[in-house]
Structure formats: C-alpha cells, structure tokens
Amino acid sequence: MRYFALIAILLAGCSSKIGNSQDNTTDARPIDFREPPEPKEGSGTSPGCEGVTARGECQQGSAVYCDLDRGRLRRVDCEALGQNCILDIGRGAVCKSLEEQDTGEGSGTASQCSDTGISENGFCTTAGEAVYCDTTGSEPVTRTWDCGAAGKTCAVGDCAEGAFCCGEGETNPDGDTCAASGLDFNGVCDGDTAKWCSESSGSHEKNCSELGQRCEVDTCATGAFCCGDVETGGNMTPEEECAAIGFAGICSDDLTVRYCFADEIQEATCSGTRTCQVDACINGAGCCEPAEEPVTECATIGFDGVCENDTTLKYCLDEEDGVETETCEEGTTCEVDEDGYAECVEVVDPCANLGAEGTCVDANTLHYCIGDELKVVDCSAQSQTCKDGADSCLTGLANCCD
C-alpha cells in the first residue's frame, strides 16, 4: 500500500563628589571631577525584567533593556553586530560602532572598561560626543554623552578631567516646561491625539488616527500613547514609524533589525550566520542564530517504518502527509526484516514442516517441534555444535553434539 501512496505523491510539490564652581557656570567643575546629568526617564522596570530598567545596562557585550510594554527583558547582541555596548547618558544602553571615531588627545592609558578599551580620560568624537570609561560605580562602564543635543560642546580637560560636555546648554531649549503645559509624563488622550510632557524634552503630541492607530492609556505604553498594529513604511515620517513599530521592532529584511528607542529609529545589520527574527532569541526583533529544525515523528520513522505492535505498522511518506498507520490483515503480522524494513507478512507456523526430528538453523542453534510448540536450543551454551543428518550424534535426529 505504501508504494501506491508513494507513486501518487510523485505524480501529484554615570555619579561622584562635586567641587566648587570655577567661573560661576553650572557646568564648570574642578578638573578632578566629572559629573554628568542624572536622567529622569527610563528608571522604570517590571517584575519580569530581573531589576533591569527601561534605560537598560550592558551585559557581556549586549545591550539589555526592560520592555515595559511586555514586562520582559529585551537583549541586543552588540558584538554580533560588530559594535560595542555603551551606556549613553541620554538614551541608556545602546549598541554603537567606535571604529570610525576620532580618539583625539584624551584617549589616555589603559582602560578598566575591558569591553571597549576606552580609558577614563576618554575622547571627543568627530560627532561631538564625549566618550569615557566611568569607574565611579560598582563596575566600570563606557559612557557616551551627545554634547550637541544637550546644547554643549565636547572638550578634553576643560570643565572636567578628560572628555566632557562643557558650556551652559539647556535640556529643554524651547522653554516649554511641563508645569506650563499642564501635562505630566503620563499625559492624556485628547480625542485621537496622545499628549504628554517630558521634563527633558518638553511637550509631545501624536495624532493616532493619522498613524492608523488609536489613543489609549496604560496599554501599549506608560500613560497616553498611540496603540494598535499598523503597516510600516510608505510615506511615514520617522516619528510616525517610531510610534508604529515601537521598542519591540520589526525585521525590515532578513538581515536588518529596525526598532524605536528614545523616539528615534534604530537600525542594526545582522552578521555571520545570524538573521533577523522576531521573538526567537529575544523578545521582539533581533539578530538570532537559525533555529534548529525540530525532529518530527515522521523524520524518526521514515519510509522504512516501525511495528508499533504485532498488528500495527507505522511509516511516513513525507512531512506534509504525516505518519501513516496500517493495520495488518488477519493471518498477517508486523515484522521488521534484517534490512530494517517494517511490513505486514503472512503468519507462518514454524512447526508446519518441522517435527521432532528437528533441524539445525546454524552451527549453534537447534530447532525442533513437540506438537505445535517450537523448541529452540542453543548448543553453544553446552559447548556443543548442532549437527543433523549423517553427522548427528543421534541417528535420524538433529541434535547438539560434541
């Protein structure tokens, strides 16, 4: 029956001590100290995040964040992307490439930040960022601060020891404080528009209906936000796409992870054998090793099949059709031959043509019948050999002989 089925298939397919001000500016510090701002956002966590906050931290070359929406950890393997995990003062733990950065005059001596090799003095990048190894905490960590975004200028050994963002600057250049707006970080839904205020970045509004979403409170994000699934791409602005794909992100192609962090679209390219997959090795989109194909029952049984019991044969033609089960007809039994092929064969009475005279199956094994019962004797267990015919030690009968 298996052959007919087979034929059919073939035919069908950073914090430290503060010194005195040098020149009456808020950023002037004694050269011995460095004190970056303390971020107010991203300190939240979830019971499922093992104490890691939404700003995240660097763990063994990976940027690890708490996805507050899902209440679970999200991990981005920076090393797999050919980058370093750096704790950005404004955005938290991020993967960042350092190869093209100008180490300048402040790179200094050996670093305690063994993961990046950047010293405590650090350096100013060509993009105007201050990068240095922060050793004030329980463990050294590489930090980066975007001076331009803070309205400051990166300098080495000026307002602080090593690289630091210097100048007055202001965290909210528009002066649109939350007190003036009457909003807090949780915000409100004004019809289909989500409105909220951040002390560091000011007031925000998102028209959810224009994104194909709806304004909801404390569902897909903390407080008011645009929620619901939308198709990404097209003529969306970065802000609109950020609201759409969220922190979990998407795979824009097999090798590209695209997600939103700190209201900015982030993109990473997978390297080696890793490809972009969703909810595979991390929560959301990430670079993951190819999944191992599960071993199915069909693959285990194969076309040769197995005998589930004396009357039941199981075999598999292909994965699509799955395992086939066949019941042996009356008078037949399921047996596996010496080549491992299972089939239903006719039941043969071993005593039909064998009597008390017996026969030698081989040099060590004697078979004979008493009535309809087959007797099997292992001559080698008696240090003897099975002999029949003229060579037997018992005239006319097969027997175990010396």
Confidence of residue 35 (pLDDT cuts 50, 70, 90): low
Do residues 82 and 146 both lie within one domain? yes
Asked if the model's pLDDT at residue 17 lies above 70, the reply is no
Do residues 64 and 86 both lie within one domain? yes
pLDDT, tens only, 360-388: 989 899 998 988 888 899 999 989 999 98
pTM above the 0.85 mark? no
Mean predicted confidence (pLDDT) in 227-237: 60
Find the domain containing 379 and state its range: 359-401
Asked if the model's pLDDT at residue 310 lies above 80, the reply is yes
Asked if the model's pLDDT at residue 255 lies above 70, the reply is yes
Do residues 305 and 392 both lie within one domain? no
**pLDDT for residue 240:** 74
Mean predicted confidence (pLDDT) in 15-32: 33
Residue 390 falls inside a structural domain? yes
Do residues 37 and 100 both lie within one domain? yes
3-state secondary structure the chain: CHHHHHHHHHHCCCCCCCCCCCCCCCCCCCCCCCCCCCCCCCCCCCHHHCCCCCCCEEECCEEEEEECCCCEEEEEECHHHCCEEEEECCCEEEEECCCCCCCHHHCCCCCCCCCCCCCCCCEECCCCEEEEEECCCCCCEEEEEECCCCCCEEEECCCCCCEEEECCCCCCCCCCCHHHHCCCCCCEEECCEEEEEECCCEEEEEECHHHCCEEEECCCCCCEEEECCCCCCCCCCHHHHHHHHCCCCEEEECCEEEEEECCEEEEEECCCCCEEEECCCCCCEEEECCCCCCCCHHHHHCCCCEEEECCEEEEECCCCCCEEEEECCCCEEEEECCCCCEEEEECCCCCCCCCCCCEECCCCEEEEEECCEEEEEEHHHHCCEEECHHHCCECCECEEEC
Asked if the model's pLDDT at residue 49 lies above 90, the reply is no
Residue 292 falls inside a structural domain? no
Residue 111 falls inside a structural domain? yes
Do residues 66 and 145 both lie within one domain? yes
Domain boundary pick from 108, 133, 166: 166
Do residues 373 and 342 both lie within one domain? no
Do residues 116 and 31 both lie within one domain? yes
Residue 288 falls inside a structural domain? no
CA distance 117 to 135: 13
**pLDDT for residue 22:** 35
Residue 230 falls inside a structural domain? no
Residue 89 falls inside a structural domain? yes
Phi, psi of 315 (to 5 degrees): -150, 170
Do residues 310 and 392 both lie within one domain? no
Residue 258 falls inside a structural domain? no
**pLDDT for residue 171:** 40
Residue 126 falls inside a structural domain? yes
User: How many domains, the chain?
Assistant: 3
Do residues 119 and 86 both lie within one domain? yes
Domain boundary pick from 138, 166, 194: 166
Domain boundary pick from 126, 143, 166: 166
Do residues 311 and 378 both lie within one domain? no
Do residues 22 and 60 both lie within one domain? yes
| Mean pLDDT taken over the chain | 75
Mean predicted confidence (pLDDT) in 269-273: 84
Do residues 143 and 109 both lie within one domain? yes
